[in-house]
């Protein structure tokens, strides 16, 4: 079954201190495109650190140029921004979007390895290394 925006729901994550996470509403096969957004579309906007409210900085991804990729609208954060980190992820980011790396049964949280986001080492949180 292909994924759509109705394939995902936000719920409390079982990962300590993670808040919300993205969970599947149906089984997802390995290699399936995770349709949080259409392929090859941007997932946010680039901002300087001074333009980001401090309480939202943790939702942004640091870039090598000192800028941050952030949700386009902090009052309406899209589902994709709630993906949590795992050293044993079941999904991965590729150049055109996110894909399942293993079978993900209905009701399971979708997890990625934040190290694949290529943030500068000095901006990575301690949990990236777990």
> Where do the structural domains in the chain lie, given as residue ranges?
1-43+79-124, 44-77
Please tell me the least confidently modeled range out of 3-17, 39-53, 83-97. 39-53
Can you read off the two tokens belonging to residue 76?
């309406």
**For 73-127, what is each residue's pLDDT tens digit?**
888 888 888 999 999 999 999 888 899 999 999 999 999 998 888 777 776 666 5
Q: In the predicted model, what is the mean pLDDT of residues 35-56?
A: 84
pLDDT band, residue 36 (cuts 50/70/90): confident
Instruction: Break the chain down into helix, strand, coil percent, rounded to 5.
Output: 20, 25, 50
Burial label for 100, CB within 10 Å (0-12, 13-18, 19+), is buried
Element (H, E) at 54: none
Q: How far apart are the first and last CA of the chain?
A: 32
Pick among 2.10.60.10, 2.40.160.40, 3.30.465.10, 2.170.270.10: CATH of 1-43+79-124? 2.170.270.10
pTM of the model: 0.82
Burial label for 1, CB within 10 Å (0-12, 13-18, 19+), is exposed
Q: Are 111 and 86 in contact (CB under 8 A)?
A: yes
């Amino acid at each position: 079954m292909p994924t759509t925006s109705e394939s995902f729901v936000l719920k409390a994550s079982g990962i300590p201190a993670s808040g919300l996470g993205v969970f599947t509403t149906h089984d997802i096969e390995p290699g399936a495109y995770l349709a949080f957004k259409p392929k090859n579309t941007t997932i946010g906007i680039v901002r300087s650190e001074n333009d980001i409210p401090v309480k939202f900085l943790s939702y942004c991804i640091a870039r090598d140029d000192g800028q941050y990729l952030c949700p386009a609208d902090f009052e309406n954060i899209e589902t994709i921004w709630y993906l949590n980190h795992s050293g044993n992820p079941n999904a991965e980011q590729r150049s055109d979007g996110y894909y399942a790396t293993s079978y993900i049964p209905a009701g399971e949280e979708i997890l990625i390895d934040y190290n694949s986001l290529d943030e500068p080492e000095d901006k990575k949180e301690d949990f990236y290394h777990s």
